[in-house]
Homo-oligomer: A and B are copies of this chain.
Amino acid sequence: MVITVLSGGVGAARLLRALSGSLDPGEITAVVNVGDDLVLHGLTICPDLDTITYTLAGLNNDELGWGLAGESWRVMGELDTLGGESWFQLGDRDLATHLYRSQRLAEGATKTEVTAELCARLGVRIRLLPVTNDVIATEFDTDLGRLSFQEYFVRHHHDVVVASIDVVGADRARATPEVLEALSSATRIVIAPSNPLISIEPILAVPGVREILEQRRNDVVAVSPIVGGQALKGPASRLLAELGHAVSCVGVADYYGAIVGTWIIDEADRHEANDLAARGARVVVTTTVMAEGDNARRLAEAVLA
């Protein structure tokens, strides 16, 4: 089986890791959100690509929940002394990734090529593909004004009222040929349990992607990011509510529209199964929380069944 996984950061990284326990990593492709990407201090930073890369390389920092294990903070400490922008924490190890990427991009390499180079160097065998090599940027209209993704997410800890979300540049962005091919040729397309509005939406918003999922709906499996009526982490619950969607599996299904053939939902949301089925989807009920290895394995098996 060859599968392609629409992926945000942490949740997708865990699902990909679980899937690579049941399937040859060479048969797995992740199409990754780049709407969070930013240029800061001259460096091009790709948080979701990096989170997945580090996790699959076994280098992720479990204590922090982001970044690299064994990290140090010398550069940021000095930058703080200089009065520089230090709200977006970049560890010394992590900085090497951004320096590498920024130099390669300046030399004319694409984000797709740089990602492949970093994965090869770190021994990541799952293929990671940024959805586009063009620049797209998820932005928020909030009660503090217009915010970039990381201003919203990191600087303000997503603790701000959101009126609307835009993926700036998505309508003009081109999905890469590798992405279109991976979506068209996969046996199964999986939507990871990432934030629908800010992790999956920027992927769907790139012209061509949603259209393929609509055509291949029967082969699309979505893992619900909602468990027991709320998101496991991050601002998904709040954003769904603020933007007028139900905070439930059904709310996410209605947001995605007619692109999901199979929903995988948690035992705690079993009561939503009939409403999802009424929307034309098959429903699989299992344990979707991946905190424990056994659960992750069970979820991977459900995705691949």
Contact = CB atoms under 8 A, between A and B. Distances in A.
Majority secondary structure of chain A interface residues (helix, strand, loop or mixed):
helix
A121 interface: yes
Contact of A103 (B41, B98, B102): B41
Interface string A10-29: 00000000000000000000
Which bucket holds chain A's interface residue count? 20 to 34
B82 A42 contact: no
Contacts of A118: 82
A275 to B, nearest CB: 48
B75 A95 contact: yes
**Counting chain B CB atoms within 10 Å of each CB, which of A39, A40, A78, A98 scores highest?**
A78
A50 to B, nearest CB: 12
A34 to B, nearest CB: 17
A81 B95 contact: no
Nearest to A96: B78
Interface in A74-100: 74-79, 81-85, 92-93, 95-100
Interface in A28-62: 39-44
A84 B103 contact: yes
B100 A79 contact: yes
Contact of A82 (B44, B72, B83, B121): B121
Contacts of A278: none
Nearest to A41: B99
Contact of A106 (B42, B75, B76): B42
A140 B44 CA distance: 30
A212 to B, nearest CB: 33
A214 interface: no
B75 A100 contact: no
A187 to B, nearest CB: 33
Contacts of A105: 42
Given A43-B43, A103-B42, A96 B84 contact: yes
Contact of A99 (B75, B93, B117): B75
A121 B77 CA distance: 14
A117 B82 CA distance: 9
Contact of A42 (B72, B77, B97, B99): B99
B83 A121 contact: yes
25 contacts: A39-B42, A41-B42, A41-B99, A41-B100, A42-B42, A42-B105, A43-B99, A72-B74, A74-B92, A74-B93, A75-B75, A75-B92, A75-B96, A76-B96, A78-B97, A79-B96, A82-B118, A82-B122, A83-B100, A83-B117, A83-B121, A84-B99, A84-B100, A84-B103, A92-B92
